[in-house]
Amino acid sequence: MEKQLIEGYVLVFTTSSAFESESILQNLGITIKLVPTPREFSSDCGIAVWFMCENVEKIKNALDSEKIEYEIRCI
């Protein structure tokens, strides 16, 4: 049985990108939360954006359109 991906993290490279991502995604009505970057994920920034993976495509489209550099990890 394949594991279902439920939640994820947007990993960004600067604190300002984390706050900008938060604002963009909240304005779209996506449920997110700023959290410390999980240890198992390497990131230059200590802040990540937590989200539910059902929103991953909306998140990618929004951050790409705003030219935010990021990585997404779903678990």
CB of 18 closer than 8 Å to CB of 45:
yes
What's the pLDDT at 30? 97
Let me know if residue 1 belongs to a domain: no
Let me know if residue 34 belongs to a domain: yes
The pLDDT > 70 percentage for the chain reads 95
What's the pLDDT at 11? 97
Separation of alpha carbons 1 and 71, rounded Å = 26
Please check the confidence at residue 44 and state whether its pLDDT lies above 80: no
CATH code: domain of residue 19 = 3.30.70.260
Please check the confidence at residue 1 and state whether its pLDDT lies above 60: no
What's the pLDDT at 2? 60
Let me know if residue 37 belongs to a domain: yes
Residue-number span of the structural domain to which 55 is assigned: 6-74
Q: How many domains does the chain have?
A: 1
What's the pLDDT at 3? 63
What's the pLDDT at 4? 75
Beta strand pairing call for 7-12 and 70-74: antiparallel
